[in-house]
Every structure is written in structure tokens, then in C-alpha cells.
A and B are shown apart, each in its own frame.
Chain A
């Protein structure tokens, strides 16, 4: 088996801003609520098959957006219920840990890798 994925050992609540997660690999991540919502991986936001809606941007999501609740899904993801009721996105831990983390180190790593 490939090494197990990092999982949250501790995390903030919906009242924290920014939202934060401490991972089992020791890394500490933080996230702005707006960017988390923009990154929603659900089929309605990201599309599927031949349905490809225009990607969400800061213009679509107010900077004041917040999650009303969050739950763990099985052993692999988080689900946020956003203001307005949207809650179909499951955020797998690898997405949160490696692609959405906004800490300086991760932001620099992604910038160096260039746009994909």
C-alpha cells in the first residue's frame, strides 16, 4: 500500500477565521473561507462529464462567506455546509493538505511549480 494519507489531528471550528488544520504529518494549514468555498470540488461547482460550468471566482463568492457547520466524512474528507445551504462538496484530505493549504511554504511551492 502507498503510505497512508495525512489526516487532521486537530482543527478549527466554523467560528475560526482563518480556518486551520493540524495534520498527522505535523504540518499546520490555514485557509480563507472564501477560497475554500471557491475550491468546492462538487459536481455542481466543478462540473462533470461534459458539463463544465465557468470556474468560481472572487466575484461569485462574497469575501464574508462562512461555513455554518463542518463534518468529517468517513476517514478521508470534510464536508462544509455553507451559508446559503450549499453542502454537496466533499473535500478529500489530500486536496486540503496539498492543494488548498495557504501557508507560506505551500503557497511558495505551488507558485514555483507554476500554473497547471
Chain B
């Protein structure tokens, strides 16, 4: 409808742009004061927007989203988008906004406050090699599939494997001191692997550096105020990392992973002991590598024994949330960066992971959104 654009107002354009989110910060670009100027004339709309940093990896996404929203307004024939870069002061103001204004003393991670809506679930095992990271990525993917906003914090600083298992690679964007997590399949991820020159580097550190890394991952990563579940993939054992997590978070739950083997369940029990001492509630046990079935109708083979997870759950008086069968495609999914929950949603292992996620969200519900 020619001529109508003369009636188009700046407010209408801004209103349309409210739906455009910064793809990394997950907040409206209008709300974040990223729209600097709007000029309307003769069917043409020119939008000046400010990026947080000049090398913003997702600038094209922002340009395309702005163009699409404005072009949909009546009478708009052409949209020009000009991108600039925020000044130091503008970035500080933005960070202040992201951190929730005056609550800076709590640190930027919203779940550092006692009333945080984010539910933190530390995935622990005691023993190594039982599949903590596999459980973490699959439960995260299943929770995301159920419609939750999910983050994964890879706290296995030395033995990180989350980047490979989720297929997330690259460097997080830094806005001054704030780290923006990488994202894949709707899961926000931070890992030591993103901070090393390459993923084959070894991290050879003593305790104090570990502590600093974890407090950075918790406090200086912009997980987003809308984050519902943060899964923390703990390293094996009850050492420095687990203690740092326990000392930093005012509220968190523990999900215990074991294999059916008595030796694994016994070490997992020690992780539960630690949880009790630091007042973390154990929400349940996941038994991984429970059995192997060569064919769907074949008899299950209990390679690692039977019943270790159920026994552990009974002893701790917590639910057994799932028994995950051994399945080659679980391992393949991990190596290919496609968790089985996403790659083969109908596989028995994927169904078992989804059942774990469903029970987990019933046991640790997120507060209803206002």
C-alpha cells in the first residue's frame, strides 16, 4: 500500500524490533538499548544498531532479523541496517542491565542469589568412567526438548569432554569481563575446552587455579536470567572442584551416576556422603550401562552386574531415575557431538534418558514464570 509508510512512526518500528533478540544475549535489542536511531522516509526505513563488540560473530543474524521485522510493517519497501559498535560506557551500561542492575554484589550469575529461579543440578559419580558426561549431555538435551532453557557447565577442568559430546566448538564472546556461553541445540555451554588454544592441550594446574576457573564459570558467565536448569558435569571424586562448587552455590542438587557394578556404587556412595556434609540434596540415581541387548528381542546381558543403582538408591532413600542400556549409538552420538536423545530419539537409551529428565523436572521443578 504505497503512501502508507508516511504514517509509520518510530514507535511502531521500535515495537516491531522488540521481538528481535540479540542471538547471544537472549534479550530484546530494544530493551538492551542496541537500537540507536530509526529514520523513516518514503517507504524506506533506516535502522542504526549498535553491536556489543566489533567482531560480533552473529552480526548477520541480527541484520537479517531486523530487516525481516521492519519489512513486515505496512508500507515499508526497503530496510537499511547500519551496524555500529558500542562505546565502553554503553557496554558497561549493558552489562549492568544484564546483571540485573543494582544486585551486582551477588555477582552476575543470577543463581548466586538465594532466591534464584535457576535450578542447579550437579552430576556426580565418585568413580570415573561411568558416563557422567554422557548422562549430563543427554539429560540436558532432553530437558531442552521438554521446552526448558538449559545450561551445561563443564566442571571437569582437566578431563573436559562436553564440547566434543555436544558438538560445540569455538570461542565464547567476551563483552568486557562477561563471558557469553556457546550454544547448541538450545543448550548454553561453557567448558575449559573453549578457553584453550586447542582442545588437545592439557590443563596442568593445582587447586587454586581450578577454584578460580569454576568461580569464573559460575559468576562471570552470562547464563541468562531465564535459565531454568544448569547442569554441572563434575569431575570424578570429591576433590577441589566438587568442594568449590559446594562452597560457591547457595543451593544445588546432586544427581548420582553409577554403573551396576558394586565397585562403582560404593564410590558413588562417598559422593553422596559429601553431598550430605555440604547440604546438597541428592535427587536421584541414574544407573548407566545397565545391560546390553544385542537385538531388540534378545535377552539382556548384564555386563557390569545387576542392581547396583537400585541398591544405591535404596540405601540413600532416593529414587532410581533410570537404567540406561549399553548401546553403541550412545557412544557414537558422544563421539559425533550428537547426543542420542537428539540423534536417535526412539532408541531405548534415548527413551530412558528422557524418562530421567522428566522425573528430574518433577523432583526439582522450576518456579512458575511470572
Contact = CB atoms under 8 A, between A and B. Distances in A.
Given A1-B316, A1-B318, A76 B282 contact: no
B248 A76 contact: no
B279 A5 contact: yes
A76 B247 CA distance: 8
Contact of A74 (B247, B272, B276, B281): B247
A116 interface: no
B246 interface: yes
Contact of B250 (A5, A74, A90, A93): A74
Contacts of B252: 75
Interface residues of A, number: 14
Contact of A2 (B250, B276, B280): B276
A92 to B, nearest CB: 7
Contacts of B136: none
Contacts of A74: 246-250, 278-279
Nearest to B282: A1
B249 A92 contact: no
B281 A4 contact: yes
A92 B318 contact: no
B280 A75 contact: yes
A7 B318 contact: no
A1 B279 CA distance: 11
Interface in A42-77: 72-77
Nearest to B248: A74
B190 to A, nearest CB: 20
A5 B246 CA distance: 15
B369 interface: no
Contacts of B280: 75
B251 A76 contact: no
B277 interface: yes
B240 to A, nearest CB: 14
B105 to A, nearest CB: 11
Given A1-B316, A1-B318, A72 B279 contact: no
B250 A1 contact: no
A72 B316 contact: no
A73 B244 CA distance: 10
Interface string B268-288: 000010001111111000000
A90 B318 CA distance: 28
A93 B278 CA distance: 9
A26 B316 CA distance: 26
Contacts of A73: 247
Q: Which of B247, B252, B317, B318 counts the most chain A CB atoms within 10 A? A: B247
Contacts of B318: 1
Interface string B132-176: 000000000000000000000000000000000000000000000
B317 A92 contact: no
A110 B272 CA distance: 30
Contacts of B282: 1
Given A73-B247, A92-B277, 8 more contacts: A1-B318, A4-B279, A74-B246, A74-B250, A75-B280, A76-B277, A90-B247, A93-B279
Interface of B: 246-252, 272, 276-282, 316-318
22 contacts: A1-B272, A1-B281, A1-B316, A1-B317, A1-B318, A2-B276, A4-B279, A7-B279, A73-B247, A74-B247, A74-B248, A74-B250, A74-B279, A75-B250, A75-B251, A75-B252, A76-B278, A76-B279, A77-B247, A90-B247, A92-B277, A93-B279
